[in-house]
Amino acid sequence: MNTMEKNLLAEIADIHEVPEGAYNIRLNGESQGRNTTANIDIISKADKDGIDIIVKPGTKHESLHIPVIVARSGLTDLVYNDFYIGEDADVTIVAGCGIHNCGDQDAGHDGIHTFHIGKGAKVKYIEKHIGEGDGNGHNIMNPTTIIEMDDDSYMEMDTSQIKGIDSTNRITKGKLGDRATLVIHEKLMTHGSQYAGTDFSVDLDGEDSSANVISRSVAKEHSVQKFVSVINGNNRCSGHTECDAIIMDDAKVTAIPELTAANIDAALIHEAAIGKIAGEQLIKLMTLGLTEEEAEEQIVNGFLK
């Protein structure tokens, strides 16, 4: 790996040297390194690009890193990764994709991630998307995350896309069993003429299942964002979805909530707020000695922190 690729790896997955625990590093469509542990196995798929990750039941406090780097213009990398999380396991999974595109052709990564989370298992899933490079080609990412949660399982998903991705359609689907809990935090920033579409859909099928989907985004310049959040309450359950967006310059943000309660004890809430930075926030920080531009930067960074 060259320095650029290493830097990108550090940014998306916080990996500086060889990571601890299990990992699979993918560079330009090929595996660059893999490590399995006694409890976490990684197997290449035979029929298509991608891996099966098998976490043994009862695995505690282990981590898995599966970063992807695309550093070649014209390459679109499509992978299918399936995660089988055993009962009562407790793991942290760090995914992430960095694209460095210096050429004139588009570069992309489409990751289809499917989680099968066993009874009582706990997963923290961190996903970071970054694009860079000064070529004319577009950086494109279309991640799909499918989450199937068995009874009493818990999943927290932190997904962020802060810069450099020209076009993205992010699809996340969840299906929850009894007492399962899904928490999703999304952070998004778009600029230039980028487009980011986010599509969440959660089926609260299990009794006392719950979902909390929180999106914070900043849209700058001419960029366009569309946030769709669907929660179906099919049992006694609770669901909450929140879209909070700061709009700047000539950007455009659309938020579309869709709540369906199909059970008398389904409690579903949607909140959406889109607006520019409040003038009084800028003034407050200016009275502390910041310029208007510095104040704006602090507010945006804090909002997406």
Partner 1 sequence: MLELKNITYEVEDNKEILRDVNLTVDDRFVAITGPNGGGKSTLAKIIAGIVTPSSGQILLDGVDITGMTITERAKLGISYAFQQPVRFKGLTVKDLLTLAAGKDTTVTEACAILSEVGLCARDYVNREVNASLSGGELKRIEIAMIIARGTKLSIFDEPEAGIDLWSFNSLIKVFENMYEQNKGSILIISHQERILNIADKIVVVADGRIRETGSKDEILPKLLSGMEYGTCDALK
Q: Does residue 91 contact residue 125 with C-beta atoms inside 8 Å?
A: no
* Minimum CB distance to partner 1 smaller for 136 or for 301: 301
Q: Is 283 among the residues that bind partner 1 (CB under 8 A)?
A: yes
DSSP state, residue 48: S
Q: Is 288 among the residues that bind partner 1 (CB under 8 A)?
A: yes
- Residues contacting partner 1: total by CB under 8 A: 22
The CB-of-285 to partner 1 minimum distance in angstroms stands at 6
Q: Which of 193, 127, 199, 185 is nearest to 165 (CA)?
A: 193
The CB-of-241 to partner 1 minimum distance in angstroms stands at 17
Q: How many CB atoms lie within 10 A of CB 106?
A: 19
Annotate each residue in 201-240 with x if it binds partner 1 (CB under 8 A) or - if it does not, as one string: ---------------x------------------------
Q: Is 276 among the residues that bind partner 1 (CB under 8 A)?
A: no
Q: Is 128 among the residues that bind partner 1 (CB under 8 A)?
A: no
Q: How many helices (H) and strands (E) does the chain have?
A: 3, 22
Q: Is 136 among the residues that bind partner 1 (CB under 8 A)?
A: no
Q: Is 157 among the residues that bind partner 1 (CB under 8 A)?
A: no
* Minimum CB distance to partner 1 smaller for 20 or for 297: 297
Cα–Cα–Cα angle for 55, 178, 122, rounded to 5 degrees: 30
* Minimum CB distance to partner 1 smaller for 171 or for 304: 304
Q: Is 298 among the residues that bind partner 1 (CB under 8 A)?
A: yes
Helices (H), ranges, 138-256: none
Q: Is 302 among the residues that bind partner 1 (CB under 8 A)?
A: yes
Among 49, 292, 296, 297, binds partner 1 (CB under 8 A): 292
Cα–Cα distance measured from residue 14 to residue 292, given in angstroms and rounded to the nearest whole number: 32
Q: Is 281 among the residues that bind partner 1 (CB under 8 A)?
A: yes
Per this entry, what is the length of the chain? 305
Annotate each residue in 49-68 with x if it binds partner 1 (CB under 8 A) or - if it does not, as one string: --------------------
Q: Does residue 137 contact residue 73 with C-beta atoms inside 8 Å?
A: yes
Cα–Cα distance measured from residue 190 to residue 201, given in angstroms and rounded to the nearest whole number: 22
Q: Is 1 among the residues that bind partner 1 (CB under 8 A)?
A: no
The CB-of-238 to partner 1 minimum distance in angstroms stands at 20
Cα–Cα distance measured from residue 64 to residue 118, given in angstroms and rounded to the nearest whole number: 17
Helix (H) or strand (E) holding 21: none
Cα–Cα distance measured from residue 89 to residue 60, given in angstroms and rounded to the nearest whole number: 6
Residues that bind partner 1 (CB under 8 A): 216, 244, 278, 280-281, 283-292, 298-299, 301-305
